[in-house]
Each structure stands twice: as C-alpha cells, then as structure tokens.
Structure 1
C-alpha cells in the first residue's frame, strides 16, 4: 500500500505509534492500519533524559504497531514537548523590485524563509514559523496577499522554538530505534490537527492539551494560530498530591486517581472507603472518596486558574466564540470540563480525535489521550494553516503550466532548427548546381 504515514507520540507516561494512510473515501480523514503503545521510560516532563531507555521503549512501540499492521516503517512524524517549547511573535518584511508585478507565492515563501534567520535565544532553534496578517506598503492588511500589488511586504509571525539538544536527543533516540523523522512537530499543534474543526478555528477557540506533566495551550482566531503557551503542571501533579496526603505509593495514587478521582459535585456528597494494601507486614489503609475529591479539586482549581491566566494573557479572551476544547489523558478526569467552564466563563467541550478518523475505525483511538498521535499522522496530508494547501496547489499548477510551455517551446525550437538546417542544405545544393 502506498502513502503510508507513521506517527510517534513521545509522552511522559506513554509512547504511542500509529500507522495509517489517507482515507480513499475522504481526503481529510485518516484510515488507521495499526498501532502500538507502551509505558514511557527515560522521559521526564516530556523531555528525553535517558536515550537508551527511551530508544528501547520507542522500538517496542514501533514493533507492536508493525505487527498490528503488517507494515514495516522507516520514516515517522514525531512530536516535541516540554516547557522549553516556547512561542513568541516576530515581525518580518521584504522589499520587492516592482509595484507592477503581483505578489506571488514565491514572495510569501521568501518572507517566511527569511524568518528562520532571526536570532533566537542561545541553545534554541526554530521549529515552526506561522504567518498571521500581512501588510502591503504600510497600509493594506490582509491574510492572503497573493495577487495584490505592492513593494513593501510585511507580516507578523508566530514562531515556536525548542532547545537544540532536545531536538537532537529525539533524532538520536528514533535512529537507535531504526527510523528517521520526516516531521518534528510541537505536540499542541499536532493535537490541534486532530481535535479542532475549521469552524472552531475561524470563530476563535483555545485548545488545552492536559498531559501527564505539562499542559500545552494554543489559541486560534480567524483560522490562524495566535498564541501558544506551556504550563509546567499536569496529571502527575494530581497523583503526587494524592500520594503525599494519603501516604501511599505513587502507583497506588495513580490507580486511585484514575478509578475514583473526580471533581464532580456528587463526589463530595457520596462517601465510600477504598482499601489500599499496606507495605510488607503493615496493615492496609483506607481512603475515603470525599477526601480524595478534596485533594483532587484543590490541585485542579489551581491548574485551571493558570489556564485562565494564559488565556487572558493571549489577548483573545473576548474573541473565543468557540470557547475551550480540552484534550489529553488528564482531560478524562470527571468534572474537569465543568470546572473549566465555571472558572473561565467560556463554553468548554471535551476533545476527542474522531472528527478526522475514518468511520468504523478503532474505537480505542477515539480517546483524548491519542490526540497527538492521530494529529501527527494527519500531518502527513493535512496542513496547520489553510493557506499552506492553497499556496502549494497554486505553485503546483504554476509548475505544471511552466513544464508544458517548456515542452512546447522545446518542440517548436527543434522544428525550427530542422527547418533552418534543411533550408541551408537546399541553398548549398542550389549553389553547387550553379
């Protein structure tokens, strides 16, 4: 089968590989052919801290996905995450030669390419450069300047950078696992491809990816990425609070959170005792669900306040008509959707990566925990910016047209050359006859 796409989601708690292809029935949907998932190892807060352990875990996930699909892969799309992944706004401009010539796709690409030359903080490099509005000759402001006239072309860009050593460690790990990266994409951007609809991006929406150790946040407005941020808290913060307050093992605290953790109102009125096995020669412990709910609520409230502050800091709070979409593994915590809506005052929904999955696909993948893995696979044929696809198609048509003209010109030139040659021969023969 051709056009196989493989994605690798390197997370703090899990490593997931998805193998798929573009659906033959819908060009914007993914047909999943296989998947593999293992517990993460050698990764802390989204960053690789032990290359050998991480490489082994990645290899295991790859082998599971290959066995599931019956397809061997050597190229993947991989995510990058961590608090070192930072977004900031920058301004760029180019001066064109003539006002008479229309602005072309090549002009847009030159302006975007020039942004990769800006000086970033020491030890970091640019991983994404996303244009916002363009300005022509200091006056006209537009999202798409192609075809317009002007000399000075400027644009504001949202640029995402990451630590160089973190990028290099990802490449080292996946190479040890026997594959290479075609795309390295920020986790939140990948999740956005899988979760958000075109209508939400246009109306204004904030995507919150609630991971195990970090929370990624991204704001869309007018179908363009306007703001990204990282909050160094996550599901493990809740687990740690349970562990410390209940004096139990971390794995026991995680199980308590997953099975009984909740911030719904009924969790504070319905009391039940959960028995936790004690350590060797020690009696078991009892944890009441009402106390558990109080511990979880305190931490979740703090996290939601941080999210609210970041949304306000973005400057787009009043424009988020589509409100908030929350995804990621910790988004499954009962009641978190209602708490977000209550504290922020914005409509909130739980984001499932099912809109761009082919109908009748695997139900297990229709879970917020797989948003990034699905988005990375979709990145094989789906663009972050609606203008990218348009520019690519326009350039493709232009190139095809140029090739056709080139062929015609070559054929015509060849015929003309033959005609001249024959004429010269005729003249020479005629001269000799005389």
Structure 2
C-alpha cells in the first residue's frame, strides 16, 4: 500500500459523489470506491439545510468506504455557487540573489494576493497566468532564471466564507477533513480538456443541476472563472409548470423525451402523461416539450455568451467550448450552444478510467473525476502539505513543480 490514495467529494445540487482512487505508476488512477447519493439540503451550490446535507454527504462517504474497504479521513471537495467571484491581480518582488528560486515565486504570488477582499470572503485559488522578469513577459516558469525584478499575473478566486464553512461543517460531521476546496469548472477542466485546447483558448462549461460553471483557459492557464445560478433544475421546473407535472415526473420526462431543439422533433410524436387535475392520462406533443426546453437552454447560453463577452476574451477562443455536466446529455444541446455562441462546441466526459468506472463514464461525473486529478497533482507537488497554509514547494521535484505551477492552490 505504498501507492498514495486520493479522495474527492463532489457536492452538487442533484447528487453527492465520493470517489476513492489509488495512484498507480505515472499519473494513473484506479477507482477503488464509489459512493453516489441523491443530494439533499443543497441549492445552487449552497447549503440550505445543514442536517439534510450532512446526512447525504455522510451516506455518500459511507458507500465509498464500503466499496473501497478503506477509511476516508480527508478529501478534496468541490465548490460552486453564485457566491464565487474572481479577479486578476499582479504581484511584484525584487530578487535578492540574482537567480529566481521557489521562495521568490511564492513571495510574488503572496504579493498578488495583497488585494482588498471583504472580510466575509476567503481566497480559494491563486492561479498564476504568467511571469515577467525584468520587463520580459510571456515567461511560463521563471525558476532558475537570472533577474532582479519578478512580476506575476495571478487569477484569484474567492468565495463567501459562510458558504464555504457550511460545506466544511457538513463534510466534517461525517468525520472527514477537507484538505482543499476546488472550483467545479477547474476540476472538470482537468479531465475534459486536451493540452492543445488549453493553449489555443477554450471555455469549459459545466452545466449541473443548480449552476452553470465557466472557466476560460488561454495559453495553458486559467484566465477567467464564473458561476451562474442557472442549471438543469430550471429546465425541469419549466417542464413541471408548462405541462402541470410533479417535479420528479418532469425530471423523468426531461431525461427520457427531452430535446433542446424544437424543429428537430417530429410533430407526430405524442407522450401520454398524468398531469395535475386530470383523472385520466392526457396526450402531449413531444414538440411542445422541446419548445419549453429550447427556451430555457437558449437563455442559459445567452447568459454564458454575455459572461464570455464581459471577460473580454471572446475573441481568443478558437478551440470554442467544451460542454460537460449532467445537463450536457440533453439531445440537441451541443447544436444549440454552437448556434447561440457562434463557437465550435463538443460534449466531453471522463475517459481512460480504470477500476469501478461503470457509472462514471458520463459528463455528469467530470467534476468528481477531476477532483481526483487535482488530488494527484497536490500529492505529487506537496507530499506532506501543511493544513490551511499556502503551497510553498519546499523540497519538490523540479519537473513536478513545472507541471504544477499553473494549477497553484493556496
């Protein structure tokens, strides 16, 4: 059992998924334990019922422990919700020895964090976007270079402290310590993006039940992140209101018969449904269902387009969008997204998985699997991380450090 064990807990609006994996060889993960439980007490990424959320998380963890035969003591936990915000910042330090070492890079990143943050918010990620040494920009890794002045451009992601602490409390109630929080689209990006897409310019769009999570990657780094409080549950709610159905039945109808483009559905297709106030089942056109879905999906992508334009990077995304999350399984959604955004779009899911992977090969589990990849990066770069302290990088393999710098966590 020398090989390290990594654990990720994806706490979503619709499900809680706990994964346990063993690291084998060079960056290979074998899934040992899976615990999937319907989510309770979570709405739009935030805890609304502490007891219900704690119970759902505890059940998910218990299932993963049972299937893996291992006790879970700490884990990486996903984070989403409209309370998440991001800002780009710049830090500058002088180089005393003339050669840049890891301590100088850490000081530059700390300098970038010296921004005015409201007392009720906390920093979740500090991700470097690039370095400038003595006025020369475009430097990816300055370690070992000669210079006297080091600047870093950093992308800083913050979240509401109360929301983060509520999630931490729910996880710790199950006897598990939170080693780090990871923003949903950054976790998803680890498993759905190719290196070429990261370099060219791409936006990851993870549409879950309660939120739509965005991350823009350019030149291999994260340049912008955003969480919208819209998701698949809004589509379900529209179906429930439009066709007068209970929410559980509306969700089933969406999964079985839903389509994101009305014009692609035949007028002859009829569904038989039992609606409110009707003694006998009534017949509903599938095209009417698609009409309801298309309106909401189009609205979601119009908000996404607005956010991409607001970031200022809309002209820097030749690789287009990679769509993932449970709602991306909706037929026709890729075509509609491409039409609204004017970008190439592909739907992606976790691939090359080993072990207990039957349920996980779906876009709905991109964040869950991505958390394990983050845990892998952290375990490689900091074998003995200090709890709640920024990553310093003491005694780290240089090659590992180069790979890890772009995904720096506080």
Q: Shared fold (TM-score greater than 0.5)?
A: yes
Q: 2:182 aligns with which of 171, 182, 185?
A: 185
Native 8 Å contact 1:233 1:303 kept in 2: yes
- Partner residue of 2:14? 13
- Partner residue of 1:429? none
- Aligned residue pairs: how many? 387
Aligned Cα root-mean-square deviation (Å)? 2.3
Deviation at 1:136, TM superposition (A): 2.4
Superposed counterparts of 1:135-154, under 5 Å: 135-154=132-151
- Partner residue of 1:87? 86
Q: 2:296 aligns with which of 293, 296, 299?
A: 299
Deviation at 1:286, TM superposition (A): 2.7
- What are the Cα deviations for residues 143-179 of structure 1, in whole angstroms up to 9, with x where unaligned? 2222323322212211000011111111211111111
Residues 263-272 or 79-88, more deviating: 263-272
Superposed counterparts of 1:274-289, under 5 Å: 274-278=271-275, 282-289=279-286
Matches of 2:48 and 2:169 in 1, distance apart? 12
Deviation at 1:229, TM superposition (A): 1.2
Change (3 A) 1:310 1:383: farther
Matches of 1:124 and 1:76 in 2, distance apart? 22
Deviation at 1:395, TM superposition (A): 4.6
- What are the Cα deviations for residues 111-157 of structure 1, in whole angstroms up to 9, with x where unaligned? 11333443212310101001112222345442222232332221221
Native 8 Å contact 1:87 1:160 kept in 2: yes
Gaps of 5+ in 2: 382-390, 399-410
Matches of 1:396 and 1:92 in 2, distance apart? 23
- What are the Cα deviations for residues 89-109 of structure 1, in whole angstroms up to 9, with x where unaligned? 1121112335xx211121001
Matches of 1:36 and 1:183 in 2, distance apart? 19
- Partner residue of 1:410? none
Gaps of 5+ in 1: 399-434
Secondary structure of 1:382 counterpart = helix
- Partner residue of 2:226? 229
- Partner residue of 1:110? 107
Secondary structure of 1:381 counterpart = helix
Secondary structure of 2:268 counterpart = coil
Superposed counterparts of 1:411-422, under 5 Å: none
- Partner residue of 2:377? 382
Q: Give the TM-score taking structure 1 as reference length.
A: 0.84
Native 8 Å contact 2:81 2:228 kept in 1: no
Matches of 1:127 and 1:330 in 2, distance apart? 26
Change (3 A) 1:22 1:34: same
Matches of 1:396 and 1:383 in 2, distance apart? 11
Secondary structure of 1:144 counterpart = coil
Change (3 A) 1:175 1:392: closer
- Partner residue of 1:53? 52
More helix by share: 1
